[in-house]
Amino acid sequence: MFEIEGLFIKFLLNFFSNLEINTFLRSPQNTATIIGGLIAISGALLGTFLLLRGMSLTSDAISHTVLLGIVVAFMVLTQLLGQEPDLSSPWLIIGAAAAGVATVVLTEAIYRSGLVKQDAALGLAFPLMFAIAVILVSRFVQDVHMDEDAVMIGEIGVAWADTNSHCLENCEAVTITPDSPEAEFSRQCTNCRELGIGPRDEGAVFSEQCSNCGEYSPAQAWQAGLLETEPLLIFWPKSITVMTLITLLTLAFVLVFFKELKLSTFDPALAAALGFRPGVLHYALMVTISLVAVGAFEAVGSILVIAFFIIPPAAAYILTDNLSRMLVISSLIGAAGAYFGYDLARGSVLGLFQVDAVLRGLNRAFDLKLAETWNSSISASMVLMMFLFFFAAWVLSPKYGLLSTWLRRQNQEKNFDIQVILAHIFNHEGTDKEREELAVGTLYHHFRWPASTTRRMIDQLLSNDLIYIKDGIVRLTSDGKERVEVFRETQLARETVIQ
Amino acid sequence: MLPGFSPEDRRVWLLIGAITLITLLFLPYSQFVLGVRYDYTLRTVAIGGSLLGIISGVLGCFAVLRQQSLMGDALSHAALPGVAIAFLLAGRELGFLLIGAGVASWLGVQFIRLLTDTTRIKQDTAMGIVLASWFAAGIALLAYIQARPDASQAGLDTFIFGQAAAIVEKDVRLIAGIGLATMFLLVLFWKEFKLITFDAEFAGANGFRVNLFSTLLSTLIVVAIVLGLQLAGVIMMVGMLIAPGIAARQWTNKLTQMVTLAAIFGGFSGGVGAIISALDTDLPTGPMIIVVAFLLVVISISIAPQRGLIWQLLRQRQDQKRFAAQMVLDDLFHYAYDHDSLSTVVPESFLKGMRGSAVKQGLQQLVNKDQVQPVNGGWQLTEAGRQAAADNATNTLMWDLYRQYNQTLDLPLIAEDRQRDIRELLPETAIHKLEKILQEELA
């Protein structure tokens, strides 16, 4: 990990100074947005295939057990192997991802036993895995990264602070021993703690101890003032590296196996017949999803991550019918959700208005005594933003949106009405009953519409130049005749086809 | 009601009685063996826990049977913003919090229905959307509430992981009241609920108002979820809802029995989970309840009569054994028959080549029955063995004839089971007819 980071930083230094990079990354907003965006993109890519395969809630299963995998791997590493792993340790990630895949296998096995239905097997398995994980966390793990809050909402807001420091120039590690000229000494009571006495008691024994001895990395040495020339240092948040690698892996998986994924999603039988091994692909997909869920765990917790898999693809699904476009759109929506979500957590809704103002308004209107500063969870706000985009897509989608569906229906009704009037005129024009059936004033009788509606329709037909009025009788223009004939022909053709 | 009991029914009811007794034994056991002291607080917590367990166990049966388990998951997550908003408006008053939770869940259901009705999004995705975004809204509101300077928000966290210790006597009374009301409705509309659960189409065709009762049942399930939240928490609630039902389902095929058993299992896991977590502040209640309930599921799935995995396994083993003996006997007989003398010694390698590892078992059983004997490295049929093998062969032939002639001879219909002696299954007249044909064919 560390070496890859180093290479990437060297690459970046071609374009930016180290100061610029450090300032950029030290802003919580930039780091949180980058991490959130990466999670959103990889989640959206994989979630699209989950949605199309009708397996959206599998991400729910995986994210719940990934927690158990992390906790168990964490306990094994610390207590059996004596390591001090953090959440970017590759072993932790691999172990947890394996646990995620194991759950999928387990739930499939449970409902294949035939004793428990599929939904019940899922509903039973996730809470159990999660329950065991929570019990282990609250009982055995004493670590800042593992409390219950972190499980719920993640720590994306402080991800900027957990860094690897990279030194590129003037790197000088310093070791201070009691013989060094820089060593500082202080008098300390050596037996106070074991005897339980204060330093002022008579029995207290003192000795000189070196207070600043030890090894200093270049960064620490510079901060402690032990170096004369400033080393070239970059502080790089660990989560960014992990998430970038996972996102690249996801991207590679989707690009390389695009054809196979597409075929096995839409026609598994054909895929199997052509030798594409849909089963293998299925588990490869599950492995990738588990990896993303593990990578996302530290940032957004193990429940909210479901949203990153489900909501952006659902929004894209409403917007388009094309798989490639759906992948791009869902990634964009996810990334936008991450970007604007940070602002929402700090109280700004898309830059349009402030939540604080709404709270003030509510207080003024209903006297609720609410606190008037909105400062909330970043990860939850990202999810809310995605939901907002989903909602917008649902209402406004040109093809499947609520609005366009409503408009289309209105239009169809109107077109139908027009056809009815034109056909009526066409049928009776030039017959004996012409005067009776087609008089402008009484036309509405024949359709059982209100007079005003009929009047409006006639006005519209007149302005479209489909009919004209002569001697108080409506007649078709040549355009109108043509329209009726075209309609009759298509209708006839359709009926023939049906027969 | 009593005269209608079949022996099967009576057996299951007795079993349920026994299970009840065993679960009740937990009380003296914990008191005298584990040394738990049931003081006032612990009594309140235990009673509250069992009540909530009973309510969610009973209503969870319907969620399980209607295959809506995951709806329970979505609804419990969706309750969180309601709790937070109710808290903002009214403070920590359980009644208001529950109303808020109920309203939020209910809005979640409606949103899921609206989404699936107006778009091509499937129900599972719609549930995922509601689950995640409602939950996020709840988390965002909780974070906002926790940033407030006054400390009165303590206790809201309990809705996430559940906290049995937070239950006080007033809450128990509220739970008992609402619980009684839901049980009353359940008994009142028992027939209707049963019908829409098992055959909604039939119910609709017969003029039952399926939508109305379906909504009513969903509402009751929402009530159970909302009540259970303070004990199990939003994440684990679905387990508390459906685990007792799944466990109960293994023991019986009757709804009444299933619901009764689910109430017992629910009450047990709710009560025990609450007690354990109340005794140790480190243990959140929800996870404890889930673990207890899941143990009940595992036990039920393993040992429940007939359906249980252990019985299935035993039955399989028995079948295998029976088949093994019969197969080996058949093989010996045919080998010897083909070699012109029924006393031919058959080499073991031939048998192994035919049947593989089952041979050893089969031979052992045949030796026990004195039907075969080892003769210099091979096996030979004894007198009894020849008789048994011949009988088997005749039986097989009779079955073949039965299958061929049962319609032309107008024989009684029986299920084909070639492992059994056909003479035991058919009346004598039918056997005579078959034997006559057999004689003719052999001649």
Mean pLDDT of the region B143-169: 70
Residue A132 touches partner B, C-beta closer than 8 Å: yes
Using the Cα atoms of residue A194, residue A197, residue A199 and residue A201 in order, give the sign of their dihedral: negative
- Closest residue in A to B143 (Cα) is A376
Same domain, B253 and B176: yes
Contact A134 B161 (CB under 8 A): yes
Q: Provide the pLDDT for residue A76.
A: 82
Contact B238 A381 (CB under 8 A): no
- Closest residue in B to A403 (Cα) is B118
Q: Which of A21-25, B5-9, B103-107, B373-377 has the highest mean pLDDT?
A: B103-107
Q: Which of A57-61, A389-393, A433-437, B226-230 has the highest mean pLDDT?
A: A389-393
Q: Provide the pLDDT for residue A143.
A: 56
- Closest residue in A to B63 (Cα) is A120
Same domain, B247 and B363: no
Same domain, B107 and B141: yes
Nearest residue to A101 via CA among A50, A132, A63: A63
B157, part of any domain: yes
| Phi and psi angles of residue B93, each rounded to the nearest 5 degrees, phi first | -115, 115
Residue A147 touches partner B, C-beta closer than 8 Å: no
B103, part of any domain: yes
Task: Identify which has the larger pLDDT, A312 or A20.
Answer: A312
C-alpha B348/C-alpha B346 separation (Å) is 6
Q: Provide the pLDDT for residue B149.
A: 62
| Ordered DSSP codes for B374-393 | EETTEEEE-HHHHHHHHHHH
* pLDDT above 50: residue A392: yes
| Phi and psi angles of residue A235, each rounded to the nearest 5 degrees, phi first | -100, 115
CB contacts, 8 Å: A303 with chain B: 77, 132, 135, 235
Same domain, B279 and B339: no
C-alpha A225/C-alpha A246 separation (Å) is 38
Of A56, A373, A381, the CB nearest to B140: A381
CB contacts, 8 Å: B250 with chain A: 115
Chain B closest-CA separation from residue A345 CA (Å): 8
| Phi and psi angles of residue A171, each rounded to the nearest 5 degrees, phi first | -85, 120
Contact B242 A371 (CB under 8 A): no
Nearest residue to B68 via CA among B191, B242, B196, B236: B242
Mean pLDDT of the region B94-121: 88
Chain A closest-CA separation from residue B327 CA (Å): 28
Q: Which of A142-146, A257-261, B400-404 has the highest mean pLDDT?
A: A257-261
* pLDDT above 70: residue A498: no
Chain B closest-CA separation from residue A39 CA (Å): 15
> A255-269, B90-104, B158-172, B214-228 — which is least confidently predicted?
B158-172
Residue A306 touches partner B, C-beta closer than 8 Å: yes
Mean pLDDT of the region A125-136: 84
B2, part of any domain: no
Contact A127 B238 (CB under 8 A): yes
Maximal CA-CA distance, chain B: 103
B1, part of any domain: no
Same domain, B357 and B283: no
Write down the residue that tokens 């094994």 correspond to.
Answer: A76
Contact call for residues A89 and A73 (beta carbons, < 8 A): no
- Domain positions in chain A are 2-156+237-308, 165-236, 403-498
Choose the final residue of a domain: B307, B325, B342: B307
* pLDDT above 90: residue A40: yes
Q: Which domain holds residue B37?
A: 10-307
* pLDDT above 70: residue A271: yes
Residue B117 DSSP SS3:
helix
Nearest residue to A38 via CA among A388, A336, A381, A335: A335
Chain B closest-CA separation from residue A440 CA (Å): 41
Total count of residues recorded for chain B: 443
Contact A117 B124 (CB under 8 A): no
- Closest residue in B to A381 (Cα) is B140
B86, part of any domain: yes
Nearest residue to B138 via CA among B173, B66, B206, B88: B88
Contact B297 A124 (CB under 8 A): yes
Q: Provide the pLDDT for residue B150.
A: 57
Contact A402 B118 (CB under 8 A): yes
Residue A377 touches partner B, C-beta closer than 8 Å: yes
Same domain, B194 and B110: yes
Same domain, B206 and B351: no
Q: The domain that contains B145 carries what CATH number? A: 1.10.3470.10
CB contacts, 8 Å: B309 with chain A: 113, 115
Total count of residues recorded for chain A: 499
* pLDDT above 50: residue A144: no
% pLDDT > 90, chain B: 17
CB neighbour list of residue A184: distance below 8 Å, 6 or more residues apart:
A210, A211, A212
Residue A203 DSSP SS3:
coil
* pLDDT above 70: residue A148: no
Residue A390 DSSP SS3:
helix
CB contacts, 8 Å: A43 with chain B: none
- Closest residue in B to A118 (Cα) is B67
Residue A116 touches partner B, C-beta closer than 8 Å: yes
Residue A492 touches partner B, C-beta closer than 8 Å: no
Mean pLDDT of the region A414-424: 83
Chain B closest-CA separation from residue A4 CA (Å): 34
Contact call for residues A269 and A351 (beta carbons, < 8 A): no
For residue A464, the number of C-alpha atoms closer than 13 Å in the C-beta half-sphere is 16
Residue A89 DSSP SS3:
coil
Residues B305-346: tens digit of each pLDDT: 878 888 888 888 877 777 777 778 888 888 888 887 777 788
pLDDT band at B281 (very low <50, low <70, confident <90, very high): low
Nearest residue to B234 via CA among B181, B156, B124, B340: B156
Residues B368-396: tens digit of each pLDDT: 888 888 887 788 888 888 888 888 888 88
Q: Tell which A residues from 84 to 103 touch B, by Cβ distance under 8 Å.
A: none
Task: Identify which has the larger pLDDT, A303 or A334.
Answer: A334
Chain B closest-CA separation from residue A418 CA (Å): 27
Contact call for residues A315 and A333 (beta carbons, < 8 A): yes
Q: Provide the pLDDT for residue A47.
A: 94
Contact B125 A310 (CB under 8 A): yes
B3, part of any domain: no
Q: Report the DSSP beta bridge partners of residue A360.
A: none
Of A119, A132, A306, the CB nearest to B131: A306
* pLDDT above 50: residue A86: yes
C-alpha A488/C-alpha A95 separation (Å) is 68
Of A56, A131, A374, the CB nearest to B128: A56
Residue A8 touches partner B, C-beta closer than 8 Å: no
* pLDDT above 70: residue A14: yes
Contact A376 B161 (CB under 8 A): no
Of A130, A152, A376, the CB nearest to B236: A130
| Beta-strand relationship, A214-216 and A174-176 | antiparallel
Same domain, B230 and B315: no
Residue A372 touches partner B, C-beta closer than 8 Å: no
% pLDDT > 70, chain B: 95
C-alpha A457/C-alpha A438 separation (Å) is 14
Residue A437 DSSP SS3:
helix
- Return left, alpha or beta for A54; rule: phi > 0 is left, psi -120 to 50 is alpha, else beta: left
CB contacts, 8 Å: A378 with chain B: none
Choose the final residue of a domain: B355, B381, B407: B381
| Phi and psi angles of residue B371, each rounded to the nearest 5 degrees, phi first | -100, -20
Q: How many residue contacts between A and B have a Cβ separation below 8 Å?
A: 181
Mean pLDDT of the region B138-163: 72
Contact A390 B129 (CB under 8 A): yes
Residues A348-387: tens digit of each pLDDT: 888 788 888 888 888 888 877 777 778 888 899 999 999 9
H-type alpha helices, A278-401: 278-300, 305-319, 323-345, 355-366, 378-396
Q: Provide the pLDDT for residue A308.
A: 94
CB contacts, 8 Å: A381 with chain B: 136, 140
CB neighbour list of residue B4: distance below 8 Å, 6 or more residues apart:
none
Residue A35 touches partner B, C-beta closer than 8 Å: no
Q: Provide the pLDDT for residue B244.
A: 93
Average confidence score pLDDT of chain B? 84
As for how many domains chain B has, the answer is 3
Contact B135 A303 (CB under 8 A): yes
- Closest residue in B to A125 (Cα) is B239
> A28-32, A236-240, B30-34, B115-119 — which is least confidently predicted?
B30-34
Using the Cα atoms of residue A442, residue A448, residue A449 and residue A451 in order, give the sign of their dihedral: positive
- Decide if domain A403-498 falls under CATH 1.10.10.10: yes
Chain A closest-CA separation from residue B156 CA (Å): 13
Of B122, B128, B139, the CB nearest to A153: B139
| Phi and psi angles of residue A220, each rounded to the nearest 5 degrees, phi first | -65, -40
Element (H, E) at A432: none
Residue A394 touches partner B, C-beta closer than 8 Å: yes
Residues A448-475: tens digit of each pLDDT: 778 788 888 888 888 888 888 877 788 8
B79, part of any domain: yes
Mean pLDDT of the region B36-50: 83
Same domain, B315 and B303: no
Same domain, B203 and B236: yes
Residue B267 DSSP SS3:
helix
Residue A383 touches partner B, C-beta closer than 8 Å: yes
Q: Provide the pLDDT for residue B296.
A: 92
Q: Between helices B210-249 and B190-198, what is the axis angle to 10°? A: 80
Q: Provide the pLDDT for residue B1.
A: 45
* pLDDT above 60: residue B151: no
C-alpha A278/C-alpha A280 separation (Å) is 6
Residue A343 touches partner B, C-beta closer than 8 Å: no
Contact B136 A124 (CB under 8 A): no
Of B149, B243, B284, the CB nearest to A138: B284
**Which tokens in the block code for residue A468?**
């004209």
Element (H, E) at B340: none
CB contacts, 8 Å: B231 with chain A: none
Contact A124 B242 (CB under 8 A): yes
Same domain, B55 and B144: yes
Mean pLDDT of the region A172-180: 74
Same domain, B375 and B407: no
Nearest residue to A41 via CA among A397, A339, A286, A321: A339
Chain A closest-CA separation from residue B202 CA (Å): 22
Residue A496 touches partner B, C-beta closer than 8 Å: no
Q: Provide the pLDDT for residue B159.
A: 74
Contact A119 B67 (CB under 8 A): yes
Mean pLDDT of the region A255-281: 87
